[in-house]
Amino acid sequence: MPDIRFYHLENEGLEGALPKLMERVISAGLRAVVKVKDTDQSALIDELLWSYKPDAFLPHDTEDSPQVSLQPILITTQQHRLNEAECLILLDADNWDDFDPFKRILYMFDGKNEEVVTAARLDWKAFKEKGFEMSYWQQMPGGGWDQKA
């Protein structure tokens, strides 16, 4: 059963938080799949992972890549893990049907969007009822994380 970590974005936003968390995922030796809602969000995340720091590189590609199975980070609109990812990143209360193949799930949600916050609360409750091991991380003003649950 995967470890689900809720990340409540409040200050830095997805643009600042996602690349830092992806660095940690890669340094832990895990492959990741980032589930996005549509191709516009896919393009935004793709560009973000290329340009977030001038001196850093996060190896990744989108589901359109001819070599999806080789990608350490795969950005996808579909529910597939063609890169055999052990880590799933869900953005803004997006969903995924089967968590079994994953070791870790990073559930990142925008704390400034009340609709997304409401959905995240409902998902927290549903996951808890299913017996998942979970933690809740709130973003601090400096961009770090404080574990609240």
pLDDT of 144 over the 90 cut: no
Q: pLDDT per residue over 20-54, tens digit each?
A: 999 999 999 999 999 999 999 999 999 999 998 88
Neighbours of 126 (CB within 10 A): 10
Task: Please tell me the predicted confidence (pLDDT) of residue 94.
Answer: 85
pLDDT digits (tens, 9 = 90+) for 50-67: 998 888 889 999 999 899
Most confidently predicted of 13-17, 119-123, 138-142: 119-123
Query: Do the beta carbons of residue 35 and residue 70 sit within 8 Å?
Result: no
Q: DSSP labels for 33-94?
A: EEE-SSHHHHHHHHHHHHHS-TT----EEETT-TTGGG-SEEEESSS--TT--SEEEEETT-
- The total of structural domains in the chain comes to 1
pLDDT band at 92 (very low <50, low <70, confident <90, very high): confident
Which structural domain, as residue segments, surrounds residue 119? 3-147
Question: What CATH number does residue 106 fall under?
Answer: 3.40.50.10110
Mean pLDDT of the chain: 93
Q: How many CA atoms lie within 13 A of 137 on its CB side?
A: 18
Q: Residues 73, 81: contact at Cβ < 8 Å?
A: no
